[in-house]
Amino acid sequence: MRILMFGPPGSGKGTYASRLSVKLNAPHISTGDLVRDEIKKQTDLGKRISDYSSRGQLVPDKTICELLQKRISQPDCKSGFILDGFPRTIPQAQELEKISSTDLIINLDVPDDVIIERLSTRLTCKSCGAIYNERSLKPRTEGKCDKCHGQLYKREDDQPKVIQERLNVYRNQTQPLLEYYQKTGQIRNVSNKEAGLPPDKVVQEILKIIENES
Ligand code: ADP
């Protein structure tokens, strides 16, 4: 199944997508991780896009579409994938249509105060990108990833000013996509109003939706 995880920054797209990936045995493709990987490796592309990411702005459509195309053409994506953070603009959605069909769009609906609380307490693994939270999703050992023992850090774009910019970018450039996708009949809304709701509860709800579709 080809699933799109849709929702504002901090709505849990990455957290739920990585858990769904294990349950459904389908690759989790996070364009944010692809971007951070290029920056970490200091590739030419990484150097060109690091400013956008640290300011909370979108990487140009052409660049992100090239990264996505490269990843999605790998053999492991043939029978399905869970896309997290793509598309974020209408041109990106049009580009995706040229590359692949989609089956289901999970729209995570989360209020701004919950987003701000989550992002400002979020911890990310430097090595594998796994997501934790200082309050609601603590690692077993402080500062260390449960999965790979990598170092946990606060993302540069999880600072209050950048969080606000990312929310603005989401409202102005990404949210209009919901209207665009309405005609497909593929959108399923998952509402998540509590900051500390255990991720597995939400994942169960999403799995039920997927079961009903297949
Ligand atoms: P978020 O928590 O905001 O959803 P992501 O990890 O998905 O964060 O993305 C981090 C950054 O990577 C974005 O702020 C943006 O600069 C860049 N990025 C990721 N996906 C895209 C995309 N589809 N289009 C443009 N830029 C993107």
Q: Confirm or reject: Cβ of 50 under 6 Å from ligand 1.
A: no
Q: Hey, which residues are catalytic here?
A: 13, 88, 122, 155, 166
Nearest atom in ligand 1 to 157's CA: 14
Instruction: Say yes or no: CB of residue 139 within 6 Å of ligand 1.
Output: no
- pLDDT value of residue 214: 77
| pLDDT tens profile 96-147 | 999 999 999 999 999 999 999 999 999 999 999 999 999 989 999 999 999 9
Tens-place pLDDT, residues 199-209: 899 999 999 99
| pLDDT given at position 77 | 96
Ligand 1: centre distance to CA 86 (Å)? 8
pLDDT confidence bin for 198, thresholds 50/70/90? confident
Query: From the alpha carbon of 31, which atom of ligand 1 is closest?
Result: 20
pTM over 0.85: yes
Take atom 19 of ligand 1 and give the residue whose Cα is closest.
32
End-to-end CA distance of the chain: 9
Q: 206 in ligand 1 pocket by Cβ < 6 Å?
A: no
56 lines ligand 1 (CB under 6 A): yes
Q: Which of 198, 192, 186, 206 is nearest to 11 (CA)?
A: 192
pLDDT at 192: 82
Determine the pLDDT at residue 142: 96
CA pair distance 120, 136, nearest whole angstrom: 12
Closest ligand 1 atom number to CA of residue 57: 16
Residue whose token pair is 């957290």: 15
Q: What is the pLDDT of residue 197?
A: 78
Do 82 and 76 meet the contact criterion of CB atoms below 8 Å apart? no
pLDDT of residue 196 exceeding 90 = no
Alpha helices in 56-159 (DSSP H): 61-72, 90-99, 112-120
The structure tokens listed for 96 are 């995706």
Answer yes or no: is pLDDT of 84 > 90. yes
Q: What is the largest CA-CA distance in the chain?
A: 46
Pairing of strands 122-125, 152-153: antiparallel
Q: What is the pLDDT of residue 76?
A: 96
Q: How far is the CA of 57 from the centre of ligand 1 (A)?
A: 8
- Amino acid 158 reads D
- Whole-angstrom CA distances from 42 to 2, 46, 56 are 31, 5, 19
Q: Convert the pLDDT of each residue in 88-99 to its tens digit.
A: 999 999 999 999
Question: 16-69: per-residue pLDDT in tens?
Answer: 999 999 999 999 999 999 999 999 999 999 999 999 999 999 999 999 999 999
pLDDT number for residue 71: 97
Distance 193 CA to ligand 1 centre (A): 22
User: Any alpha helices (H) in the chain, and if so which ranges?
Assistant: 13-24, 31-40, 44-55, 61-72, 90-99, 112-120, 160-169, 176-182, 199-213
